[in-house]
Structures are given as C-alpha cells and as structure tokens.
Amino acid sequence: MEHQSSELIFRRLGIHSQQEHFVYMREDCHVCSSEGFEALTRIRVNYKSRSIIASLNIIRTDILNPGEISLSESAIHSLGIRDGETLRVSHLHPIQSLSHVRSKIYGNKFSADELDEIITDIVDGNYSSIHLSAFITACAGHRLDTKEIISLTKAMISSGQQIHWNKDIIVDKHCIGGLPGNRTTPIVVSILTAFGLTMPKTSSRAITSPAGTADTMEVMTRVTLNMDEIKKVVEQENGCIVWGGTAQLSPADDILIRVEKALDIDSEGQLIASVLSKKASAGSNHVIIDMPIGETAKLRSIDSANKLKSEIEKVADVVGLKLKVLITDGTQPVGKGIGPVLEARDILSVLRNEKTAPQDLKERSLMLSAELLELSGKVAVGLGMTQAKLILESGKAYQKFVAICEAQGEFKEPQIKGHKRVISAGNSGKVIRIDNRKLAKVAKLAGAPFNKNSGIDFFSPIGKDVMKGQALYEIYAESKGSLEYALEYLHSQQDILTIQNH
C-alpha cells in the first residue's frame, strides 16, 4: 500500500554525509515510484518557508516507519527541523545555472553573470557532488582565462560576508599547498602586530592534511570566536589568529575545496579565486603568498610556479590586493613537529628564542615577516629582516603572541602525550629525498588533527647521515588503534624517506 501524501513526518537517523544533503524515504512512498529508483535523483524538500535540494536514498527496512522521512545532518541543520515535524517533498525543477556549466564544457567562455549564478547555487547547496565535480573539471587544466578567473573571484567574494576594518593597511599571508610543519603564521602574526601593523588572521582547519593553523592554535587558545569577539581582539592587540568559519567568508570556496581534494586535481583558476576571494573577503589588502616548490609539494616545478605567480599577481591587482609571491623550498618538512601539539611546541620554542628551536621554521618566519613588513610600506626595502629579527629576538613577538591568546580567551601550555613509535633507518646512508605527501599522510592516519596529540616528530632532514637502526622520526598517536592504522599504511610504502647508501 503506497503512502499517498507528499507530506511526511521527520525523524532524525543521525547520518552525517558531509556536505551533500541526503533525504531518506521508504521504498513504499509514492514519491519514490514517481521519482524513480534508477536515476541519481534529487528532490526538493520543503519545511515551512524553507526549502533545500537533497539526493534521494531509499530505505528498505523499518528504521523508518510508514509515513516517516529522514535527512542527513547537514540537511537538518539547513532546515532547522525537529523530530515529529512535517516535511513536504516536491519535484525538483532544473537548476538553471547548470546550463552555464554545460556551455563551458562545450567550449564557451563563462560570463560574469553566469559565474555569479553558479556560485550562488553552490552556496545555496543546490549542486550535488556530481555537479560540483563537473564544474571543477570544466574549469581545470587552464580552461579559465584571466577574465574568467577575475569573474570567479568576484563571484566568490560576493557569495559570502566581507569584513571591513577601519585601518588603511591590513596585512595577511597565505601558503599555497601544505608543507608539513610549515606553521609560520602564528610567528608572523606576532611579529607584524608587535610592530604595529594590523593582521586579523582567519585560518582554516585541515581538510586532508595533519593540521591547519586553526587546529594548531586551538592547542594553546580559543579559536572559535564570533565576529564581535574577533573585532574586539583586533582592536586591542592589532591582530588575532582564529578559525575563519564563523565569519562566512567565501562559503563557495569551502564547498568546492572538498571536492577538489577528493579529485586531487589542479585547477589554477580555482586556486587563485579560492585564495584571493578569502583574502579580499577578510578585508586584507597587503598579502604575502608563500609558494613552496618541490617534487612532492603542490607546485612541482619553477615553471609552473612562475606561471601561477604571474596569473595571481594580475588577478590580485584587479581585485584591489597588493600582493607579493615568494617562491620557497618545498622539498622537505619545516620544523620538527607535524600535527597540532607538536607544531605548537615548535612555535613557542621559536618565539621564546630557545636554543633548540627549529632554525628552518625560525628563518622562514623571519623571511616572510620581513617581506610583509616591506610590502606594507611601513618598513623600507632592505630593512625588513633587521626589524623582524629585532622583534623576535627581543622577546616582543612572544609577549604579543601570549597577549593575543589571552585576548582570545586563554593561553595554555601544550602538553605532549600519547602512544609513540620510533621509525628507524633500514640502511645506513644519507637522506636524499623526503616524500612530503606520504609523511603527512602517516601523521594524519595517526589521528591528526582530530586528535591533537597525534602526529610526527621529525628529525631527519635532507643531507643528514644516518646509521642503520637510527631513529628517523617518531609517530605520536592518541590511541593504539590509530597508531596501528598509521603503521599499516607506513609499512606498505617504500619511499617515505629515501636513504642512499654511501
């Protein structure tokens, strides 16, 4: 006996399907026969005056009773519905902007209006992962020209909130591609704000890497602040280092980036639009871009880096950002720690000018700070490094860091704990190559960043001579299960580090 009404009672099942909305309906509901079981059907789900689009999954057991319907967690959050309330489902009319995506696939250029419509639909949750993937693929491989990249960047800025600061100069930095342990941001923010410039840094949590700046900072302070709190901290300390999620900056970027990572594809145009839309939305106007290059980094060659540099500078100029790109070394991890607590330890060690502080992390942070000081126009060209060193080595940067943390809510000393496993050299020789991606993956599978203590303590840089059996790095894991999971992966890989026999 088919359930006849398009109105059903909602019951939460608790299924978190990440960003795509799903609707769960019993097989015997007439909507299922109308919409069909065979196609990858999307339907419209209506609740009071709200409405979302969701992909249909069919329930064949009694986890739902006749007349009941369920939704994935993101869909519930979007509609704000509670158990026992009534939903109505209706047929989904074609999403107009998808015809623009098809037009691009057939070889046409995107107009600014078309990109606006596409980005609006993406932010509204109207694109399934299939549609997002098609859009990303259609833009990849240099298929966006400069004009289109500019339009995409502007559309992404308009798709969310924009923060306005009442200062002329707002400095910012970004690193393209994750280099394990390259946690320079907290040190750079401390130096720049101690100098007197304004650096309201909003950062993300890691998606596929073992830590993002927000994850690492969360070890030492609060990072989830609302806009009022953020503004207060910046007012007081010239800066902050917080999670950007509450600010709703370039929300299309957050949606697209997850699919791009699942595809693992380079889309230069989208990369530029992603970075610049986030910076412009954050109200920044002077931006340093750190671009590490290396065989296992995001940018593989000096040629591809220079092409990207040239394109991003063009677009930055049009959207009103004063931007400088720095091409740096991406062949190995930076610092010793990979993972939130271990990176936090390194950051404090550099800020406190400890003798055992990782020098490469210190040098890179100073270099980026120097360039940013000079880019702001407030320090003469050539004097940035001296100024940065002074601020760091005098202890002023550390004082500022603690002040920022306390303004954000607290300053906590990181505690390192958990299960450990030393990974040793299988042969004697010299470390000649490090696979950054695989090393980062070991740290991630050990539980980082979700488990803050998980990660890797790394002490075998390129050029180091090691003896067979000598410790190369140490894996930290909060749970035995995660440690085993990481080791299972590690043992399946030959070349995380390459040690060449003498």
- Greatest distance between any 2 Cα atoms in the chain: 81
The angle, 0 to 180 degrees and rounded to 10, between the axes of the packed helices 185-195 and 359-375 is 40
User: Does 24 participate in binding a second copy (rule CB under 8 A)?
Assistant: yes
Give min distance, CB of 494 to a second copy, in A: 13
User: Does 3 participate in binding a second copy (rule CB under 8 A)?
Assistant: yes
User: Does 130 participate in binding a second copy (rule CB under 8 A)?
Assistant: yes
8 A C-beta contact, residue 385 and residue 374: no
Residues from 426 through 455 that contact a second copy (CB under 8 A): 444-447, 450-451
Q: Which of 38, 65, 84, 320 binds a second copy (CB under 8 A)?
A: 38
User: Does 40 participate in binding a second copy (rule CB under 8 A)?
Assistant: yes
Is 266 tagged catalytic? yes
Pairing of the two strands 7-10 and 86-90: antiparallel
Cα dihedral across residues 137, 142, 144, 149: positive or negative: positive
- Rounded distance, CA 167 to CA 248, Å? 21
Give min distance, CB of 457 to a second copy, in A: 18
CB atoms within 10 A of CB 381: 10
8 A C-beta contact, residue 315 and residue 279: no
User: Does 35 participate in binding a second copy (rule CB under 8 A)?
Assistant: yes
- Rounded distance, CA 12 to CA 84, Å? 9
8 A C-beta contact, residue 435 and residue 331: no
296: left (phi over 0), alpha (psi -120 to 50) or beta: alpha
Residues from 461 through 480 that contact a second copy (CB under 8 A): 478-480
Q: In the complex with a second copy, which residue's Cβ is closer, 37 or 459?
A: 37
User: Does 16 participate in binding a second copy (rule CB under 8 A)?
Assistant: yes
User: Does 207 participate in binding a second copy (rule CB under 8 A)?
Assistant: yes
8 A C-beta contact, residue 209 and residue 440: yes
Q: Which of 97, 126, 128, 184 binds a second copy (CB under 8 A)?
A: 128
Q: How many residues in the shown chain lie near a second copy by CB under 8 A? A: 87
Window of 30-38, 181-189, 277-285, 391-399 that interacts with a second copy by CB under 8 A: 30-38
Strand partners, 326: 290
User: Does 482 participate in binding a second copy (rule CB under 8 A)?
Assistant: yes
User: Does 33 participate in binding a second copy (rule CB under 8 A)?
Assistant: yes
8 A C-beta contact, residue 2 and residue 28: yes
Among candidate residues 28, 266, 329, 435, the one labeled active-site is 266
Q: Which of 63, 74, 286, 64 minimizes the C-alpha distance to 171?
A: 286
Q: In the complex with a second copy, which residue's Cβ is closer, 60 or 355?
A: 60
Place of tokens 């020789």: 429
Give min distance, CB of 317 to a second copy, in A: 27
Q: In the complex with a second copy, which residue's Cβ is closer, 282 or 448?
A: 448
User: Does 488 participate in binding a second copy (rule CB under 8 A)?
Assistant: yes
Phi then psi dihedrals of residue 376, to 5 deg: -70, -20
Q: Which of 163, 206, 456, 496 binds a second copy (CB under 8 A)?
A: 206
Residues from 261 through 300 that contact a second copy (CB under 8 A): 261-266
Q: Which of 58, 112, 326, 385 binds a second copy (CB under 8 A)?
A: 58
Give min distance, CB of 447 to a second copy, in A: 5
- Rounded distance, CA 340 to CA 499, Å? 28
18: left (phi over 0), alpha (psi -120 to 50) or beta: left
8 A C-beta contact, residue 421 and residue 483: yes
Residues from 98 through 117 that contact a second copy (CB under 8 A): 98, 102, 105-107
8 A C-beta contact, residue 72 and residue 16: yes
Count CA atoms closer than 13 A to 436's CA, side-chain side. Answer: 24
User: Does 46 participate in binding a second copy (rule CB under 8 A)?
Assistant: no
Give min distance, CB of 128 to a second copy, in A: 7
Give min distance, CB of 445 to a second copy, in A: 5
> Is 137 strand, coil or helix?
helix
Q: Which of 9, 140, 327, 416 binds a second copy (CB under 8 A)?
A: 140
Q: Which of 51, 120, 162, 208 binds a second copy (CB under 8 A)?
A: 208
Put the strands of the sheet holding 465-466 in their side by side order.
Answer: 465-466, 429-434, 497-500
Window of 115-123, 256-264, 342-350, 424-432 that interacts with a second copy by CB under 8 A: 256-264
User: Does 61 participate in binding a second copy (rule CB under 8 A)?
Assistant: yes
Q: In the complex with a second copy, which residue's Cβ is closer, 129 or 428?
A: 129
Q: Which of 132, 175, 197, 439 binds a second copy (CB under 8 A)?
A: 132
Q: Binding mask 65-94 vs a second copy (x if CB under 8 A, - otherwise)?
A: -------xx----------------xx-xx
Residue numbers annotated as active site: 266
